[in-house]
Amino acid sequence: MTYNFTVNPDFNPSHLSGWFIFNTWLQKTLGEAIHLELYNDAGALQQAITDESVDLIYANPFNAAKLVRENGFQPVVAPTRTSDEAIIVVSADSPVTEVEQLQPGTRIATTSDPDVRLMSMIMLEPADLNTENTQIDERDSYVLVAKELIQGKVDVGFFLAEAYHDISNVIRQQLRPLVSSQIQVIHHVLLIGPRLAHRHADMQQALLSMDNNDKGKGVLTSLALPGWQSVEQEETEFMIDLMDTLES
């Protein structure tokens, strides 16, 4: 039987080859046939989940919440020493130096990443801004969000912090962070679905020991990840509850 693995579409494009390398390593380590299928946007990924075509996923916090509570997925591991944070960014020549200076009608560029959008909108609350009195322009990637800012088509951009720091220096020199979240307990997580759940313990053990040998370290380097840490169901439930609280 072939199992299907995917990665949330918000991953850094420069890590594309790394995920294929990781998938090859995982197949050899577990002795299972695992197919890596990457989707262009959140809608396509959601359709695959609805069709029950996903058995393993590196999910953002928003998708993790739905997959655990509605689709029977279980947490396996999360990256060590990392958390998902959002950054609100303006162009380098913007007169805006603090959130409170933003006005109703502010034009926002963002991706379809719901947890980044959620955290960013919360950070706009000091300016009394919300989805009703702002203009939101959704783009397919963070590079395109940056382009909108540089071209002056929007006033602010929402970024996953990791994605912002991965943008080239040439682009970042034309941008300026305005404010960053510091929640620290929201993160991507590798989830395993019901059809592959019988390999949960084997997969977790293999991933936790990846950095114990040169081959595993090489795979982690290709993903720009320091390593993995185990994630218990209770930890994931706490993160899900926090996401629910932030949404309310």
Q: How confident is the model at residue 130 (pLDDT cuts 50, 70, 90)?
A: very high
Domain that holds residue 135: 86-180
Tell me, what CATH number does 56's domain have? 3.40.190.10
Residues 69 and 192 in one domain: yes
pLDDT tens-digit map of 173-226: 999 999 998 877 778 899 999 999 999 999 999 999 998 888 999 999 998 888
Residues 41 and 78 in one domain: yes
Residues 107 and 125 in one domain: yes
Last residue of a domain, one of 149, 180, 211: 180
Q: How many domains would you assign to the chain?
A: 2
Q: What mean pLDDT, rounded, does the chain reach?
A: 89
Residues 76 and 192 in one domain: yes
Last residue of a domain, one of 143, 158, 180: 180
pLDDT recorded at residue 241:
75
Contact yes or no for 110/139 (Cβ under 8 A): yes
For residues 37-41, average pLDDT: 88
3-state secondary structure of 178: strand
3-state secondary structure of 97: coil
Residues 97 and 172 in one domain: yes
Residue found under tokens 């380098």: 92
For residues 16-35, average pLDDT: 95
Which amino acid is located at 198 in the chain?
H
Residues 189 and 163 in one domain: no
Residues 92 and 170 in one domain: yes
Closest CA to 128 of 152, 105, 156: 105
pLDDT recorded at residue 98:
94
Strand 228-230 relative to strand 74-79, pairing: antiparallel
Residues 222 and 170 in one domain: no
pLDDT recorded at residue 145:
95
Closest CA to 96 of 210, 179, 39: 179
State the CB neighbour count (10 A cutoff) for residue 210.
Answer: 21
CA dist., res. 62 & res. 117, Å (int): 11
State the CB neighbour count (10 A cutoff) for residue 36.
Answer: 16
Helix (H) or strand (E) holding 166: helix 161-166
State the CB neighbour count (10 A cutoff) for residue 93.
Answer: 9
pLDDT recorded at residue 247:
64
More confident residue, 62 or 55: 55
Closest CA to 142 of 6, 13, 21: 13
Q: How confident is the model at residue 109 (pLDDT cuts 50, 70, 90)?
A: very high
Residues 107 and 55 in one domain: no
pTM over cut 0.85: no
pLDDT recorded at residue 23:
96
Residues 165 and 44 in one domain: no
Q: What are phi and psi of 100, to 5 degrees?
A: -60, -15
Share of the chain above pLDDT 70, in %: 97
Helix (H) or strand (E) holding 128: none
pLDDT recorded at residue 141:
85
246 has a pLDDT exceeding 80: no
Residues 43 and 97 in one domain: no
CB neighbour class for 83 (10 Å; exposed up to 12, middle 13-18, buried from 19):
middle
Which amino acid is located at 112 in the chain?
S
Last residue of a domain, one of 180, 211, 235: 180
Q: Give the C-alpha distances (Å, rounded to integers) separating 201 from 59, 70, 77, 112, 175.
A: 19, 22, 11, 33, 44
CA dist., res. 234 & res. 248, Å (int): 21
Q: How confident is the model at residue 248 (pLDDT cuts 50, 70, 90)?
A: low
11 has a pLDDT exceeding 90: no
pLDDT recorded at residue 16:
86
pLDDT recorded at residue 113:
81
Which amino acid is located at 225 in the chain?
L
Residues 48 and 68 in one domain: yes
pLDDT tens-digit map of 143-173: 999 999 999 999 999 998 888 988 889 999 9
Least confident of 21-30, 133-142, 176-185: 176-185
Contact yes or no for 109/148 (Cβ under 8 A): yes
